[in-house]
């Protein structure tokens, strides 16, 4: 039995996957980059994971299911990290590119991992008995389970804590430049529009604003008109971009998880609606600085015409993570 950590731990796991014999893994959490470790492998592999937790990337599981000679099942209370062959077991802390806080890929650089490497004849057999017991009671993974896991995964990714903080007082876009992977999979958007509220939309907002602000502890209420497709439970950087090129930063807003829609009618009798949101001073503790605003103004036309925008000629939104390539160049 040998205690291993750091580079030795990573090396042992890589050597485990290089063995030309059947492999067994009881590893709770799997990330998007985890499949790289399977490149070139053809041996039989049995995998136990924890899909239900929201800490495993469902896309990784979909791809693992498509691999030849690979079986995968799930246990909702699995937290173990065990790698097993006929004569070796690694029992430790290392998941495969992801962990229970919904971090993955580059976000895990610098994490401290450690394991125990077991080579004694009796003990790997005991570990194998443990694995087979839980394999027998684990659940097979169907499409319904994957779709349910996708919803939970998305929420956890959006709500995960920042791992790296550049320094106190830095702006939101400075954080995006220095730590781009912290923004991946978050519901954080640049929301760009050509026109402001109609008089009927504004009147409806004024009618409901007082009651909602009193009920929501004085949080200032805003809205989007006839834009119900904007994602719920999202943080937005609002930018006005007029047809003649006029630009203004309109503020930071949060659309709540529960839909807050107010219908109304225009003077001509047509139906309209406003989608309510809440004004924020910062997003995750970071503000939009004057320098940020100047950068957004310089880049607004490129952002508006990005291939990744969603919307039409009146309003478009773009993931801030994807906007990074336009604002600062490609993610390193």
Higher-scoring residue by pLDDT: 189, 150 = 189
88 alpha carbon, distance to own chain's centre: 35
Separation of alpha carbons 53 and 282, rounded Å = 30
* Domains located in the chain, CATH noted: 2-159 (3.30.870.10), 172-328 (no CATH)
- For 60-71, letters b (16+ CB in 10 Å) and e give bbebbeeeeebe
What average pLDDT does range 283-303 have in this prediction?
Answer: 95
Give me the pLDDT at residue 100, please. 38
Higher-scoring residue by pLDDT: 214, 247 = 247
Range with the poorest average pLDDT among 45-54, 173-182, 212-221: 212-221
Annotate 103-168 with three-state secondary structure: CEHHHHCCCCCEEEEECCCHHHHHHHHHHHHHHHHCEECCHHHHHHHHHHHHHHHHHCCCCCCCCC
Edge-to-edge order in the sheet of strand 114-118: 2-5, 114-118, 89-92, 81-84, 23-27, 45-49, 70-74, 139-140
pLDDT, tens digit (0-9, with 9 covering 90-100), for 72-102: 999 999 999 999 998 889 998 776 653 433 4
pLDDT, tens digit (0-9, with 9 covering 90-100), for 41-58: 888 999 999 999 888 889
Average pLDDT, the chain: 87
In the predicted structure, residue 2 carries a pLDDT above the cut 90? no
Residue 10 · residue 33 · CB < 8 Å? no
In the predicted structure, residue 215 carries a pLDDT above the cut 50? yes
Tokens 């390539």 sit on residue: 325
What average pLDDT does range 233-239 have in this prediction?
Answer: 96
**pTM across the whole model:** 0.69
In the predicted structure, residue 214 carries a pLDDT above the cut 80? no
In the predicted structure, residue 293 carries a pLDDT above the cut 60? yes
DSSP state, residue 231? P
Helices (H), 216-308: 290-304
pLDDT, tens digit (0-9, with 9 covering 90-100), for 192-209: 999 999 999 999 999 998
Give me the pLDDT at residue 40, please. 80
């Amino acid at each position: 039995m040998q205690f291993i950590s750091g580079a030795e731990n990573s090396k042992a796991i890589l050597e485990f996957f290089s063995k030309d014999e059947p492999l067994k893994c009881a590893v709770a959490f799997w990330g998007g980059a985890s499949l790289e470790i399977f490149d070139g492998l053809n041996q039989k592999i049995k995998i136990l994971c924890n899909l239900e937790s929201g800490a495993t990337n469902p896309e990784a599981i979909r791809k693992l299911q498509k691999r030849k000679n690979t079986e995968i099942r799930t246990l909702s209370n699995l937290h173990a990290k065990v790698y097993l062959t006929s004569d070796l077991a690694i029992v430790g802390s290392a998941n495969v590119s992801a962990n229970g806080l919904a971090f993955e890929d580059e976000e895990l650089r610098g994490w401290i991992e450690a394991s125990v490497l077991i080579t004694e004849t009796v003990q790997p057999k005991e570990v194998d008995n443990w694995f087979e017991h839980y394999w027998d009671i684990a659940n097979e993974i169907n499409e319904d389970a994957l779709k349910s896991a996708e919803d939970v995964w998305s929420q956890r990714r959006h709500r995960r804590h920042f791992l790296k903080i550049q320094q106190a007082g830095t702006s939101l876009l400075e954080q995006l430049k220095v730590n781009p992977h912290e923004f991946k999979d978050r519901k954080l958007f640049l929301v760009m529009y050509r026109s402001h509220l109609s008089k009927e939309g504004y009147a409806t907002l004024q009618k409901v604003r007082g009651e909602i602000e009193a009920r929501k502890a004085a949080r200032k209420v805003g809205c989007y008109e006839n834009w119900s497709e904007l994602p719920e439970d999202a943080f937005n950087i609002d930018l006005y971009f007029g047809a003649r090129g006029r630009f203004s930063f309109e503020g930071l807003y949060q659309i709540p998880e529960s839909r807050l829609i107010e219908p109304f009618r225009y003077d001509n009798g047509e139906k309209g609606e406003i989608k309510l949101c809440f004004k924020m001073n910062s997003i995750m503790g970071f503000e939009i600085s004057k320098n940020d605003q100047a950068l957004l103004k310089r880049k607004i036309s490129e952002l508006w015409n990005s291939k990744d925008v969603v919307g039409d000629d009146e309003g478009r939104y773009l993931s801030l993570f994807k906007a990074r390539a336009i604002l600062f160049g490609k993610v390193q």
